[in-house]
A and B are shown apart, each in its own frame.
Chain A
Amino acid sequence: MDLWQLLLTLAVAGSGSAFSGSEDSSEKPKFTKCRSPELETFSCHWTDGVRHGLKNPGSVQLFYIRRSTQEWTQEWKECPDYVSAGENSCYFNSSYTSIWIPYCIKLTSNGGTVDQKCFSVEEIVQPDPPIGLNWTLLNISLTGIHADIQVRWEPPPNADVQKGWIVLEYELQYKEVNESQWKMMDPVLSTSVPVYSLRLDKEYEVRVRSRQRNSEKYGEFSEVLYVTLPQMSPFACEEDFQFPWFLIIIFGIFGLTMILFLFIFSKQQRIKMLILPPVPVPKIKGIDPDLLKEGKLEEVNTILAIHDNYKPEFYNDDSWVEFIELDIDDLDEKTEGSDTDRLLSNDHEKSLNILGAKDDDSGRTSCYEPDILETDFNASDVCDGTSEVAQPQRLKGEVDLLCLDQKNQNNSPSTDTTPTTQQPSIILAKENKPRPLLISGTESTQQAAHTQLSNPSSLANIDFYAQVSDITPAGSVVLSPGQKNKAGISPCDMPPEVASLCQANFIMDNAYFCEADAKKCITVAPHVEAESRVEPSFNQEDIYITTESLTTTAGQSGTTERAVSSEMPVPDYTSIHIIQSPRGLVLNATALPLPDKEFLSSCGYVSTDQLNKIMP
């Protein structure tokens, strides 16, 4: 019970006090604020606590006192102006205001002090808001989205800034119209400030407030300034982040180029081959032109011999027989004369034509066909001579003459050197009628041959094979008929043994045979022949007998007669110097003694020098 009473009393007292407190607070006037806007005057405001019943607002009085000297001698004075600052305020004008002097004010109501306050004027400075806000456009960004403006204002008119009595600093705040939060800028001492980066399509609000420098309290805000920026230019681009395609493209190209360069540099050779394929230089397959230049005749010979393999295949086995048969056929066909005659005749074209008609797939095709003759010049040495021929047809005929008996064998080994035949016409006359035939591309040769082989009667006896007995330096080939003394043995009728033997030996070397081989043939051949038969070798279409081998053998065989001018049986072998000229084949005289061992040793070409040495 006691506790309950105590609690109740306390509650009542508490509520009562609270109630009375609020009432007291509402009744009692209190100072709310004392403020000096310019450090020259000040005013104080108080709340009017009159609520109930107090019908005399004037009862509230303000008294002040200020310390002029070190003594508080003065009395309290009443407020000089209750009106100027509004209701419940006291305004002290400049005459009543002293700076740096302590003031005390008190509020009385009905004689009783209600409130008291002490201060110094410099502590209560709160300037008025600035006036005259305006803005100007500084610039617009290139994108047309943002703009900068300069905001200007005037200091509050009552603040004597000009004389420097009071120094103010300002704070600007701005925001978009529909925003709620103000953006603050740092305090500035000047009365204009730039505001950067405002969006063109938005409206902004700007306000400024000031305070005395060194003070903490700001004055009131100025009026709000509305900033309406000009509309965005129609060309303004979106502010959205655009994917930097341009940059990506450029960097991509750059990267690709780098990769490509790396690739190229790593595969330089290959790309070179692709872009600039090597141009095939004309050369003999497998033969290095340098070899020819260097004069390595052995190698060249072997190589050439290899090449000739292709052709002899046609008629390797049946060369003799074929030739013979064919020749016979030919003979039968040409009752008018031997091919030789035809060849050597003036209208050699006719003969050529005739000869050309015989172009069939006999074993003689290798040097027969004009195509081969023409094109395979490099490919096969066999036909070299013929290919040189300007008139392949003529060659045909000449080739044909391999097995032909010399019909018109004047057999004058004079061969003269009616040289300078440009048409290589190798006519190997049968040895029966050793008669130099001039071979070469010149028609003169032909004529000479013609003259030489003018005897149609000899056609019957014409040998299929003719020997090249002489080569003139000028390039004409002197053919001599085969073995004169040979009786009935046509070169085509080579003893099969010999033939076969020689054939076998010469299978590989169609046109070119080495001295040794040649010797073999010679030796094997019946000694009846004063001359070694080259026929077997000749058989094979390769009419072209080369070189020193021929010469050598010829020389060795003993028939060392100068084919140039001898009517004597000329050696079977003569050297042929193939000239790469329209002159074609140049045969070298075999009868010449061999001054140089070079001939003996080498199986290949006779170089011009060697030729010259041999020939006078």
Chain B
Amino acid sequence: MDNKGWSLKGSLLLLLLLVSDLLLCQSVASLPICPSGAVNCQVSLRDLFDRAVILSHYIHNLSSEMFNEFDKRYAQGRGFITKAINSCHTSSLSTPEDKEQAQQIHHEDLLNLILRVLRSWNDPLYHLVTEVRGMQEAPEAILSRAIEIEEQNRRLLEGMEKIVGQVHPGIRENEVYSVWSGLPSLQMADEDTRLFAFYNLLHCLRRDSHKIDNYLKLLKCRIVYDSNC
């Protein structure tokens, strides 16, 4: 029985791996895979960064498209833009806001920041998917992308943790992240308010995915290529 169970588990894992790889391969170049169960799988830092950059780029693309889709569909003529300069829940995280600041910050800190941002978005993404599904005439374009972003965000988080483990091993800070409290807004009965809440969320998502993408590219050039991309 044990053997059967293990073989079944193994096959399922393999299947999952395959599927996830296939999904990843849709938009991302295929990279050598380290089986999730493996302990001593040493993927080079370069490969890790490459994968991370690819993932972050992919997430940013998706969020941009999602935002544009939503904007086109729901937010036209509502003047959301002028009102959308409200803060995102991750604004409290003191992330560098220009190139000088980014260059001055130590890469370990930057890595931690990235991790924080990524963690901060786990919850909102999850709820986003739920709420978009619940929307009337749930647009498939937005929903599929939301689902994909959530998935990839999780993977990016795992990858980043691996990178941190390699770059800065040993130190494991408390899992700090910003709490998202925008859920009630998403569930508002008023359609306008709800739509604005969605708009805001998607806007923040696009911004943060761009931020992470930039940070990672910067780090990659700095760490892997020694500031000479």
A residues touching B (Cβ–Cβ < 8 Å)? 39-40, 67, 69-70, 72, 94, 97-102, 104, 116, 118, 120, 122, 160-167, 213-214
Contacts and interface: CB of A to CB of B under 8 A. Distances in A.
19 contacts: A67-B85, A67-B87, A69-B91, A70-B92, A94-B98, A94-B99, A94-B100, A97-B98, A99-B97, A100-B208, A100-B211, A120-B207, A122-B210, A161-B229, A162-B227, A162-B228, A164-B217, A165-B214, A213-B57
Secondary structure of the B contact surface, majority rule = helix
A165 B228 contact: no
A118 B203 CA distance: 13
Contacts of B17: none
A97 B95 CA distance: 15
Interface of B: 57, 60-61, 64, 81-82, 84-85, 87, 91-92, 95, 97-100, 102-103, 207-208, 210-211, 213-214, 217-222, 225, 227-229
B152 to A, nearest CB: 15
B210 A214 contact: yes
Given A100-B95, A164-B219, A165-B217, 12 more contacts: A67-B85, A67-B87, A70-B91, A94-B99, A94-B100, A102-B84, A104-B85, A118-B85, A122-B214, A163-B103, A164-B225, A213-B57
A167 B215 CA distance: 12
B222 A100 contact: no
Nearest to A119: B81
Given A40-B99, A213-B57, A163 B210 contact: no
A102 B57 contact: no
A548 B185 CA distance: 144
Contacts of B85: 67, 72, 102, 104, 118
A162 B85 CA distance: 32
Contacts of A94: 98-100
Contact of A164 (B61, B100, B207, B221): B221
What 3 A-B pairs come out closest when comparing CB atoms?
A164-B221, A102-B85, A98-B97
A98 B98 CA distance: 5
B91 A165 contact: no
Contacts of A40: 98-99
Contacts of A164: 217-222, 225, 227, 229
A163 B97 contact: no
Contacts of B82: 116, 118
Contacts, number: 77
Nearest to A125: B210
A118 B102 CA distance: 24
B113 to A, nearest CB: 12
Contacts of A163: 99, 103, 218, 221-222, 227, 229
Contacts of A97: 98
B96 to A, nearest CB: 9
A368 B17 CA distance: 117
A417 B214 CA distance: 138
Nearest to B228: A162
A163 B216 CA distance: 11
A437 to B, nearest CB: 120
Contacts of A167: 217
Nearest to A71: B87
Given A120-B207, A161-B229, A163-B227, A100 B57 contact: no
Contacts of A104: 85
Contact of B213 (A116, A160, A161, A214): A214
A100 B97 contact: yes
Contacts of A67: 85, 87
Contacts of B64: 214
A118 B81 contact: yes
A39 B207 contact: no
B213 A162 contact: no
Contacts of B207: 100, 120, 122
Contacts of B218: 163-165
A507 to B, nearest CB: 111
A166 B210 CA distance: 11
B136 to A, nearest CB: 29
A214 B98 contact: no
